[in-house]
Structure 1
C-alpha cells in the first residue's frame, strides 16, 4: 500500500468536519486539528479546509518527516501502522512504540543491539528493524505489528482511565485503530 492509499484510508476513517465537546483537539476536518492546520499555514475556517491541504499535511508531518517512508521500504505493514498511529497519537509516540517493541523482541540484545526510545526513526532504529527482520523474516513483521498494536491499545485504555471524557472515544479508537 502506498502513502496516497494510506492517506485516503485515513481520511475516510476520520470523516469530514467534527467538533466534539470532549475532544481536546477542538474543530477538525479530515482528522486535522485546527492547531495543526494553523501551524501549517492554513488560515481559513476549519469547515473549509481543502482535502488536498489535509493530504499534504499528512504526507509531510506523519510520513516523510518522521521517516516512516524509510520503514516502509523494509516493512510496509509496520509503516502503515506507524502512519495511522502517528496521525492519531503523534509520530514520536508511534516511533517510540516501534522502538519499545524492537527492544523487547531482540532476545536480550542477542539478535541486535537495544536502541534508545526517543521517538525518532534514525539509523539505529532502522538498523534494529533490519536486524529483527533478518532474524525473524517476513512472519516476524506480523508479530512486531501485534506488539505495536498492543502498546497502542494499552495507551488508549490509559487515556480513558485518566480522563473520563475520553471514554466517549475509546470504543472507536479500539474498533478503528487497532487490527
Structure 2
C-alpha cells in the first residue's frame, strides 16, 4: 500500500469529528487530536479541521519524521503496521515495538546486535531489519508482523486494565487495529 492508501484507511477508520467523554485526547477530527492539530499549527475549531490538513499531519508526523518511509521499500507490511500503530499509540511506541521484536528475534545477538531504544527509524534499526529479513526469508516479514501485533494487543489490554474508561475503546482497538 502507498502512504496515500494508508492515510485513507486510517481516516476511514477514525471517521470525522469525535469528542468521546472517555477519550483523554479530547476532540478529534479525522483521527487527529486537538493537541496534535495545535502542535501542527491549527488554530481553528476542531470540527472545522480540513481533511487535507489531517493528511499532511499524518504524512509528516507519522510517516516521514519517524522514518517509517525508510521501512516501506524493505517491508511494506511492517511499514503499514508501524504507521497504523503510530497513529493510535504514537510513532515512538510503534518503533519501540519493532526494536523489541527485532531484539527478541536476533537469536541472542548472533544474527545482529541488540538495538538501543530510539524514537525513530535510525540506521541501526534499518540495518537490523534488513539483516532479519534476509536471514529469515521468505517468511520473516510475516513473523515480525505477528510479533508487532502481539505487542500491540498486549498494550491495548494493559491500557484497559489500568484505566477502566479505556474499556469503551478496547473492542474497537482489537477489532480494527489488529489484523
TM-score by length of 2: 0.98
Aligned to 1:2: 2
Aligned to 2:50: 50
Runs of 4+ in 1 over 4 A off after TM superposition: none
Aligned to 2:108: 108
TM-fit CA distance, 1:138:
3.4
Question: Any idea what SS the aligned residue of 2:151 has?
Answer: helix
TM-fit CA distance, 1:117:
2.3
1:141 aligns with 2:141: yes
- Number of matched residues? 179
Query: Separation in 1 of the partners of 2:52 and 2:119?
Result: 28
Aligned to 1:159: 159
Aligned to 2:61: 61
Query: What do you get for the CA RMSD once the two structures are aligned?
Result: 0.7
TM-score by length of 1: 0.98
Q: Deviations over 1:9-49 (max 9, x none)?
A: 00000011100000000000010001110111111111110
Question: Any idea what SS the aligned residue of 1:138 has?
Answer: coil
Query: Separation in 2 of the partners of 1:138 and 1:112?
Result: 18
TM-fit CA distance, 1:111:
1.2
Q: Give ranges in structure 1 of 5+ residues lacking alignment.
A: none
Query: Separation in 2 of the partners of 1:138 and 1:59?
Result: 29
Q: Does structure 2 conserve the Cα–Cα contact (< 8 Å) formed by 1:71 and 1:78?
A: yes
Question: Any idea what SS the aligned residue of 1:121 has?
Answer: coil
Moved more, 44-53 or 118-127: 118-127
Question: Any idea what SS the aligned residue of 1:137 has?
Answer: coil
Q: Deviations over 1:120-147 (max 9, x none)?
A: 2100000000110110013110000000
1:50-129, aligned counterparts within 5 Å?
50-129=50-129
Moved more, 111-120 or 122-131: 111-120
Query: Separation in 2 of the partners of 1:126 and 1:79?
Result: 12
Question: Any idea what SS the aligned residue of 1:108 has?
Answer: coil
